[in-house]
Structure 1
Amino acid sequence: MAVRETIILDQPAINRALTRIAHEILERNKGTDDVALVGVVRGGDHLARCLQQRIQDIEGVEIPLGSLDITMYRDDLASRGSLPVEKTDLLFPLENKRIVLVDDVLFTGRTIRAAMDALMDIGRPRSIQLAILVDRGHRELPIRPDYIGRNVPTSVSEKIVVQFNDENNPTEVRVAKP
């Protein structure tokens, strides 16, 4: 069976979405005080870096940035076989920070649940907010993003692919339909 792919966000659309999300983060938090970005490794970490740059361009302030590997917190680890463990990189204390957790695609909510568990094992942030580039629906857990680049209703059989270039900048988002 052939797979059909459709581009749903090109690079200019991704850039607009990330700029909008950066403004929304600043508005909701009334600036940058105690705000930090933490990206989920393999997608969210690259988007968090992009958001950090946009916030710096807007406010002139470099907010803390970290990455979080949730491999060992996954609830499907036994069924997935051997997964590579990446490096968690949080060089700032989480206490009293307003953490904006960043990921590329929100589907069932299980990855975000694992990320929140990992964050709470590391420290106790004041709050955790969620920024997502693409929300595709089909939630299995009561998790809702605070910032969304684009809502894309999908069927369970479809897949959302976020493409990054060699510099880890997002270049396009595609939906793959079997």
Structure 2
Amino acid sequence: MATKVAAIMGMSAEDVIKRVAFVKCKGSPDVAKTRYVYDGVMDCREAVVLPGSGPKGCSYGCLGLGTCVTVCPFDAIRIENSLARVDESRCVGCGLCVASCPKGVIELVIMDKRVRVACNSHQRGADVKKVCQLGCIGCGLCSKVCPEGAITMEDNLPVIDQSKCTQCMKCVEKCPTKSILFLESSY
């Protein structure tokens, strides 16, 4: 199938890089605070208009109400422990979930690149820790230890240049909050 699609697009199948959706949040209820109990429509786009951008303590985090689940035609996303989770074996990288997420928590990533930033918060240190135990504190240690210069800090979050990343794991080992992780499985 990839060969046929590639031929139509004037490419070879080898040029096709599989991209999948990734949820940049580990703020489940056991590690992240909530501001109030939400009892409204189970749709992230509806909840985000409430004070504080929804009930979650982190205004950048996954609301876990399942809008991404409802828009995914491939049954590749489910809500687990109040967070969206992607089954990469089912994900085709269509981007519908990315477009539907009002918090910008979901992004398309290169499937084979397993070192990923699992936080979406642009706050720093103490402000992050007030709302999530696993949030990135913007310390920059990851960018300092990366031997390839693949990590830059942008708006208090590490950004990994996947074309430079060799997955040496130094950033994963150094991250004090484990916001940078090596994703071993897709579910």
TM-score band by shorter chain is under 0.3
**Which structure would you say has the larger Rg?**
2
Length-normalised TM-score, structure 2? 0.25
Length-normalised TM-score, structure 1? 0.26
More strand, by proportion: 1
| More RCO (CA 8 Å, sep 6+) | 1
